């Protein structure tokens, strides 16, 4: 059984930074593409970023490109999301997820099979 546990969320002001972490249990962590999604109240879950197995390739939603950085440490089974220049519209519950299929549709939530419980990020203006 795979478990993904996020941490690092909190309440910050606009312009501040936060770093989210996601620790994965189980073997073969480095064999999977990993991603971050977020869901704001009353909205659908949306793709934020994804990273290839060895961390060479990264993919971002246009809304966070240039402000967020996804990374991973396979020795620690840990995924990160560095969030800079935060805006009130970044307020959401952030989820990490493990991708179960290959292909280029990194933003497709249905292509991820395991999800964390989420961590709340609130950005005040």
Question: Does the pLDDT value for residue 121 go beyond 90?
Answer: yes
Question: Does the pLDDT value for residue 27 go beyond 90?
Answer: no
Nearest residue to 33 (alpha-carbon basis) of 117, 79, 98: 98
The residue-averaged pLDDT of 35-54 equals: 97
Q: How confident is the model at residue 36 (pLDDT cuts 50, 70, 90)?
A: very high
Q: How confident is the model at residue 18 (pLDDT cuts 50, 70, 90)?
A: very high
The residue-averaged pLDDT of 14-41 equals: 95
């Amino acid at each position: 059984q795979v478990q993904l546990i996020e941490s690092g969320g909190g309440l910050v002001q606009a312009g501040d930074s936060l770093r989210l972490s996601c620790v994965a249990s189980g073997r073969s962590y480095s064999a999977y593409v990993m991603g971050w999604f977020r869901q704001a109240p009353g909205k659908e879950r949306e793709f934020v970023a994804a990273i290839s197995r060895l961390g060479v390739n990264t993919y971002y939603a246009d809304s966070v490109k240039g402000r967020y950085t996804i990374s991973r440490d396979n020795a620690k089974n840990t995924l990160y999301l560095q969030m800079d220049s935060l805006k009130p519209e970044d307020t959401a519950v952030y989820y990490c997820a493990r991708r179960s299929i290959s292909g280029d549709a990194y933003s497709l939530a249905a292509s991820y099979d395991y999800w964390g419980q989420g961590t709340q990020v609130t950005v005040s203006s």
